[in-house]
Structure formats: C-alpha cells, structure tokens
Amino acid sequence: MIESNLDQIAEVVAGRVIGDGTCRFRGVGTDTRSELEGRLFIAIPGENHDGHDHLAAARAAGASAALIESGFVDRGGVLPEGFDVVMVPSVRPALAAMASAHRDTLEGVVIGITGSSGKTTVRAMAERVLALTGAGTASIRSFNNDLGVPLTILGASKDDAWLLLEIGTNAPGEIASLTAIAKPSIGIITGIGRAHLGGFGSEASIAAEKASMLDVIDEVPGGVAIINVDGSVIRPELARRRDSSLEIITCGETDDADRHLDGRAVLATGGQRIRIGEFEATLSLDGCHNAVNAIAVLELGRRLKIDDAAIARVFETLEPPAMRFVRHVVNGVLLIDDTYNANPESMTAALATFAEVAANAERRIVVLGAMYELGEMSQELHVELGERAAGVAGELVLVGESEATDMETGARASGFTGPVAKFTGVEEAAAFLGPRVRKGDAILFKGSRRVGLEVIVEGLTKPGEVRA
C-alpha cells in the first residue's frame, strides 16, 4: 500500500500542509470504524455523512494525518489539536491524483474489468487464477467508482504481482477517467447491456462508454483487450479501433469470436462441464453466461503464462460472489439468491440459468423486483421481462410500483396462466411468500438492489422459516 509523507502528497495533489510535512503514513482509510492505525484519513464529504465530522474519531483510531477540504476550515471547522493535514479544494480529485501517482510506482500487471454485468463475478474468478502467480490486490465488493478505484489502487503494494480493478460507470466519461488513473495493460469487457439507460439514453452509448477503456489501454505498450462480443452492440466500437495498435481478443458463444464456447453440459450436482477449444474443465458456477465469463478468465491466465491444468483446478472450486446466483438449500427448498442488482440482460441470464438448475423442481417460483435507471424504456423492458419469466415460472411474485404491473402484463400476454402476486414492498412480499413455501420448491430472487429482495432470502434461510 502507499507509503509517503505529507509534503510529498501535498506536491502530488497541489495541496497545503497544515502541521508537520514530514509526518509519514502507510495506507489510507475513509471509515473510522475500520483499521486506521498509521494511515492517512481521507475526509470524504457526502450527502448523508461528512468525513470532516469524524476527524477527532480518526485521530483517536490511530490515523497519522488527514486529507481535508479547505471549505471545512473556511466554514469555521476546527482541526483536532496536533493533527496534521493536507488541505485541498476538493478531496475526490486529490484522491484520484494520489492514486494515479501511486499507480506509476507499481511493478505488477494491472488489469481493468468493465461491462454492464458480470464485472464482479469475473473479478472473483480472475482473482483466484491470478493468485497462482503470487500476491496481489483486487477490488473488494464492488469498489468500482471514483472512490473505489483510487482506494483499491492506493491499497496495492509496489511488489504486488498484479492489481485487479473493477471499473464502473453511471454517467458518460467515467470509464475513461477511471481507466486513465488505473492505466491497465490488460482490459476485460464483459457483456454489454441496457444498464443505466436513464443516464446514457441508448445501448450504443453504453457500449461507447465501456469501449472508452480501450483507448487508454492502447497507449500502454503491449496492451491487450479481451472482449465479450455476444452482444452485437460492441462490434461497431471494435471496428472503429481496427487500426489501433491494441491487441483485441474476442470471446463469446458466437462462432466468429476468437475464443468461443464449444460445448457445455449442466451437472445435476451443480455447475457445468465446459469446453473451449482444447481446454476442458468443470466450472462450479452455474449458467451459460458464466461459461462465457470463464473464456475471458482463461485467456487472461494464458496471457500471464498460467498452466491450463492449474486454471481448470481453480474453475472447479470457485464460489459465486455474495448475492450473485448463490444457491441455498433449506429443508428441501432450493433458494437462488441473485439479488445484488439487475438489468435486462442479467435478468435474462438469471431466468435461463434458473430454468436449468430447477428443471426437476416440483414448483418453480420466480420472485422479481423492479429494474431501475432504465429511463423512457422502463415500461417496455419490464413488459419484456414478464414475457421471459412466463416461460420459466410456475408462479410469479412481483415487487415494484408500476414495474410489477408491467411485468404481469408481459407475462399474461405470453400466455402465462399461473398465480401472480404483486407487492410494492419486500415486507408484504415476504409475509405472503413465507407461509406458501414447501419442500420441493425452487425459488429465484432477482431484482435491483434498491428493491431489497435479499431481505426475503434472509428470512427464508433462517432455521425453521421454510417448511419441511
């Protein structure tokens, strides 16, 4: 992790030291409830919490110094006595400048991952494979925004063998900005879909935003991009970069991909057998989308000279990240927790995978929550989701406002005749579903994080909550 003193940091961020400029620190932190001993506390201002209100707590927790905004002092804010700080106009750009400078000191390979869905799963898969080459640093949870990416970089050590970063976006320009800080030599673009349509307006604009990563990698000597091309919307972006020096490796189910899925077989015990050219392995994760994710991770491993057999052993023991198609079996009931987030493409993948793993269930219940940030296409896409769910579910439980009605409309228009229950909140849905669950059921939970479907899953996985 970063080690420096305040004078050096002030020069990097164009800030002013108040106190002892020779004060040293090792590592950074933003939360006084986490380990801060010897670290630089980053006072992040936010809508609900302001790190400047916790400077005394940071010092008490062992922080060596802090990075603060000048506005805090201008407003009459008082620094803890003897607490050294670097003062800047705005903390977020300063944090980015620190991360960019620290990135330039790192000797290991840097990998960036972006996409509309699958980023965290690919990151988790890649992290296990990269560990075969030595110690490294990876994004924790979904640290993929203008705070998470710099903080992850600052947590990396000079002698790390690798740094693995998720890079996300909610608005145009974010991918290019964050990639410029990270300067990866290898980039992975997972599936492109209709997430954040409200902020981008079209799927083509989303593809352009994700592909902006490639322009930064193109400036890195020996830069390589591994790209899922199953969604055709990314292809024009690749065509525009045909004459660049960047090496582009395409992957997917489609036969014209450079690395494509040649075969897969669903295993009754969970997971699947996959074949990618001459490579064959048992992948412990469910779903065709994860088989395609495995292609990208296999290519990454090969680029770093990792043996195929070693990669296959990792694939066999992978576990899904939390709330991403995680199986729970409670009293003979199969619960699928895929509640972390949702967009139209991830919903489609979840429904297809559920149909595979619950093929022999006595009853298939699909619990769907609203998808957000879809802009003017929200109604159309929720109707489309209902149409897809109709081919998988025996019963539907729908949570949302108008979105639940739209999903029901789509399901009924597709000929769905099973029971449909609609609720505006998870509490009502949980109260309805709990007494109905019985042995032999398979239940999929999928929705945007704001819906909070994980609350229902947590209730059903408590001992005694599901009937035997």
Q: Which of 359, 368, 362, 358 is nearest to 388 (CA)?
A: 368
- Integer Cα distance of 309 and 304 in angstroms: 14
Q: Which of 293, 328, 312 is nearest to 456 (CA)?
A: 328
* Residue 463 confidence (pLDDT): 62
* Residue 467 confidence (pLDDT): 39
Q: Domain 106-316 falls in which CATH fold?
A: UDP-N-acetylmuramoyl-L-alanine:D-glutamate ligase (3.40.1190)
* Residue 196 confidence (pLDDT): 80
Who wins on pLDDT, 194 or 371? 371
**452 has a pLDDT exceeding 80:** yes
- Integer Cα distance of 56 and 61 in angstroms: 9
* Residue 132 confidence (pLDDT): 98
Mean pLDDT for 329-343 is: 95
Sign for the CA dihedral angle at 99, 103, 108, 111 comes to: positive
Strands 326-330 and 333-338, how do they pair?
antiparallel
Q: What is the mean pLDDT of the chain?
A: 95
* Residue 185 confidence (pLDDT): 97
Instruction: Answer whether 3-91 and 106-316 agree in fold.
Output: no
Mean pLDDT for 239-246 is: 91
* Residue 465 confidence (pLDDT): 47
* Residue 198 confidence (pLDDT): 82
| Phi, psi for 282 (deg, rounded to 5) | -90, 125
Share of the chain above pLDDT 70, in %: 99
Q: Domain 3-91 falls in which CATH fold?
A: 3.40.1390
The answer to whether residues 131 and 81 touch, using CB atoms and an 8 Å cutoff, is no
Give the residue extent of every domain in the chain: 3-91, 106-316, 326-460
* Residue 243 confidence (pLDDT): 87
Give every CB contact of residue 332 below 8 A, 6+ residues apart in sequence. Answer: 439, 440, 468
* Residue 143 confidence (pLDDT): 86
pLDDT of 361-407, one tens digit each?
999 999 999 999 999 999 999 999 999 999 999 999 999 999 999 99
Strands 272-276 and 263-266, how do they pair?
antiparallel
Question: Which residues, in sequence order, are bridge partners of residue 166?
Answer: 113
Mean pLDDT for 216-244 is: 94
Mean pLDDT for 63-89 is: 95
Strands 186-189 and 136-138, how do they pair?
unpaired
Tokens (6 digits) for 116: 């509309």
Q: Which of 214, 107, 234 is nearest to 167 (CA)?
A: 214
**141 has a pLDDT exceeding 80:** no
Confidence of residue 335 (pLDDT cuts 50, 70, 90): very high
Q: Which of 107, 96, 168, 104 is nearest to 135 (CA)?
A: 107
Q: Domain 326-460 falls in which CATH fold?
A: Protein-Tyrosine Phosphatase; Chain A (3.90.190)
Q: How far is CA 70 from CA 13, 23, 97, in A?
A: 13, 20, 17
* Residue 466 confidence (pLDDT): 46
Q: Which residue has the tokens 């619950």?
A: 358
Query: In 10 A of CB 99, how many CB atoms?
Result: 24
**214 has a pLDDT exceeding 90:** yes
Confidence of residue 433 (pLDDT cuts 50, 70, 90): very high
Strands 326-330 and 279-283, how do they pair?
unpaired
Question: Which residues, in sequence order, are bridge partners of residue 68?
Answer: 87
3-class DSSP state of 205? helix
The answer to whether residues 241 and 234 touch, using CB atoms and an 8 Å cutoff, is no
pLDDT of 45-60, one tens digit each?
988 889 999 999 999 9
First to last CA, the chain: 50
